[in-house]
Structure 1
Amino acid sequence: MKKILRDLVFSVYMHLKQLPFHFMPNSIIAHIPSYWIRHGYYKLILGIKIGKGSSIHKGAFFYDKKLVIGKNTTVNRKCHLDSRGKISIGDNVSISPECVLITGDHEVNSPDFRYRSAPIVIHDYAWLGTRAMILPNVTIGTGAVVCAGAIVTKDVEPYSIVGGVPAKKIGERSKTLNYSASWFFPYD
């Protein structure tokens, strides 16, 4: 009986310990219509590094605090940022709504379904279209564009435009980029 009670107390403790890091930011904080409250929580409680002029819009979902966002970058509504393996996002990056960045998965042929993780790096002036998916161990080059709905399984060269499943190069982007991707919408 003591073991059952001890296991129950330990289980409750572990759940409560994770409350401010998983439940609160994803189920409550992410839906507050105030950048200042959300960003304050993300920076102070989760330890996420968010550069000046950058914004994380409502409904963003986080798995871990290993997330670094540069200056004047926008992470739009309902993006899913699995940063267990670390996500580094540069300056003036535009991440469109509902993008998914996954740094962790499982070894398919592992008898014990072994977990593994690898980082994602997104360089300056990159643009991810709506519902693009970036898989572990991928680097998106400077100025690259990932078209809406694309699934990126391999590195994307600077200034390349990629699309499809899996994403393949379909064009080149201008190399004379000089914009700010900073975007704040009231109550978002």
Structure 2
Amino acid sequence: MIKTYLSELRLYICNNLVCKIPSHTIRLWFYKNIMKFKIGTNSYVYLNCKFDSTLGLTMKNNVVINPRCRLDTRGTITIGEHVGIAEDVIILTSDHNVHSKKFEGRNLAVRIDDYAWVGTRAMILAGVTLNKGCVVAAGSVVTKSIPPYEIWAGVPAKKIGVRDKDLLYVINYKRVFH
């Protein structure tokens, strides 16, 4: 009972107070030390991002998660290097089995590999893998895994193109008050 209460209090503080602090240094300290997220160097989580649980997020180096994203960390979210996640993206790791007579919930991991790019207001559903270099267009709903270097768009998202495989960029986008 007390453990549940403290866990819920920690989430409340994270999602209603800490996420609004205009200092990345303070937010990063809280995410690493209190939420127990694993966050690499030159990786940033901007203002007003919300989480559903502790421990469920691993970000490697040079990752940017822009403002107002929702990361459902009840399952696990693993993000590779040089990944850009635009504003208002939703990443879900939990859902309900539609074939269950008891409406049972389930947690399914989401993995986003190196050089993937997720556009504004896209939604990634539970159990999906965004393989290396893939792009999800703004407003898309991704219901299944995307092969490497493919560009997907739509609801539900479908392949619309292929991306160059010689990606050399480093994501290192840092704003002082963001």
User: What range is the shorter-chain TM-score in?
Assistant: over 0.9
Q: How does 1:3-152 map to 2 (within 5 A)?
A: 13=2, 16-64=5-53, 65-152=55-142
Cα distance in 1, alignment partners of residues 130 and 120 from structure 2: 16
Q: Counterpart of 1:149 in structure 2: which amino acid?
A: G
Q: Counterpart of 2:97 in structure 1: which amino acid?
A: E
Q: Where in structure 1 are there 5+ consecutive unaligned residues?
A: 1-9
Q: Given the alignment, which residue of 129, 147, 160 partners 1:170?
A: 160
Q: Using the TM superposition, give the Cα deviation of residue 109 of structure 1 relative to its aligned residue in structure 2, in angstroms.
A: 3.3
Q: Counterpart of 1:163 in structure 2: which amino acid?
A: A
Which is worse superposed, 59-68 or 25-34?
59-68
- Provide Cα deviations, 1:89-131, integer angstroms capped at 9, x if missing partner: 0000000000000000112232221011110000000000001
- Provide Cα deviations, 1:127-164, integer angstroms capped at 9, x if missing partner: 00001100111110111000001000111011100000
**TM-score, normalised via structure 2 length:** 0.95
Cα distance in 1, alignment partners of residues 79 and 114 from structure 2: 8
Q: Counterpart of 1:38 in structure 2: which amino acid?
A: R
Cα distance in 2, alignment partners of residues 51 and 14 from structure 1: 28
Pair member with larger Rg: 1
Relative to its length, the structure with more helix (as a share) is 1
- Provide Cα deviations, 1:55-77, integer angstroms capped at 9, x if missing partner: 00000001122100010110000
Structure 1 consecutive aligned stretches of length 4 or more whose deviation exceeds 6 Å = none
Q: Counterpart of 2:122 in structure 1: which amino acid?
A: A
Q: Using the TM superposition, give the Cα deviation of residue 79 of structure 1 relative to its aligned residue in structure 2, in angstroms.
A: 0.5
Pairs aligned (count): 177
Q: Using the TM superposition, give the Cα deviation of residue 85 of structure 1 relative to its aligned residue in structure 2, in angstroms.
A: 1.1
SS of equivalent to 1:178:
coil
Equivalent residue for 1:183? 173
Query: How many percent identity over aligned positions?
Result: 40
RMSD: 1.2
Q: Counterpart of 1:106 in structure 2: which amino acid?
A: H
